[in-house]
Amino acid sequence: MKKLPEMGMSVKEDKCPVCGKEGFELRELPYEVPGFGTMLIISMRCPSCGFKHRDILGLRFGEPTRQEFKVEGPEDLKVRVIRSSSATIRIPELGVTVEPGPMAEAFISNVEGVLERVERVVAMMARFAETPEERARAAEVLARIWEAREGRLKFTLIIDDPFGNSLIAPPDKSRVKVRRLTPEEIRELKTGPFVPIDIRWSASEGSEKGAGAVRESGGEGG
């Protein structure tokens, strides 16, 4: 394995673990998060078979943690969110749960960016709905997501991470409720690669009607 010099970034080349060809690229970039410490942004790419993956790792051992943030208005949509590939996202008011799967990728974004990702998946479900009822339920959820993106719907963003590598970072840190996950909660969490992504909403999680389920294989939905 050889290391290639690059500004502020460690770049390595090796054989691809998927196709076995040379040229597989692994990039590691340290990223300083105020109040959280240094994180390592990792990206992998193979130009031969197209395999790619991104992740974010804390350079300290994290506890299994739940972070909960109440979004009260438009300004809160700008709050930074770091989601590792092991994290589960929940928005109870929309009845939405986003679980990590085989190609789940980490991202650094904000609350609005989280809503955009959820919206893309729900829109895909609407396109492939097989019944008028499924299309109507997807349309209902999309309408609520649009309300949330416009700052007209208050909602709760919850991130459960069994490895403690995710973060919700508003200017006022006291607005985020943080607690350790219980052993029972940890056992029920999916933990990332090689586990299916399951995005679902149900009557028990914030809406009067369940809107079905959609399963992704990876990409932006992770």
Question: Could you tell me the strand order of the sheet in which 107-110 lies?
Answer: 107-110, 80-83, 167-169
- Render each residue's pLDDT in the chain as its tens digit; 222 residues: 333 333 467 888 888 988 999 999 988 888 776 655 677 788 888 999 998 887 777 666 578 999 999 999 999 999 999 888 889 999 999 888 888 876 677 888 999 999 998 898 889 888 888 898 988 988 999 999 999 999 999 999 999 998 888 999 999 999 999 999 999 998 888 765 433 334 444 444 444 444 433 333 344 444
DSSP 87-103: -EEEEGGGTEEE---TT
pTM attached to this predicted model: 0.69
Determine the Cα–Cα distance for residues 50 and 8; give it in Å rounded to an integer: 25
DSSP 126-161: HHT-SSHHHHHHHHHHHHHHHHHHTT-S-EEEEEEE
Q: Which amino acid is at 59?
A: L
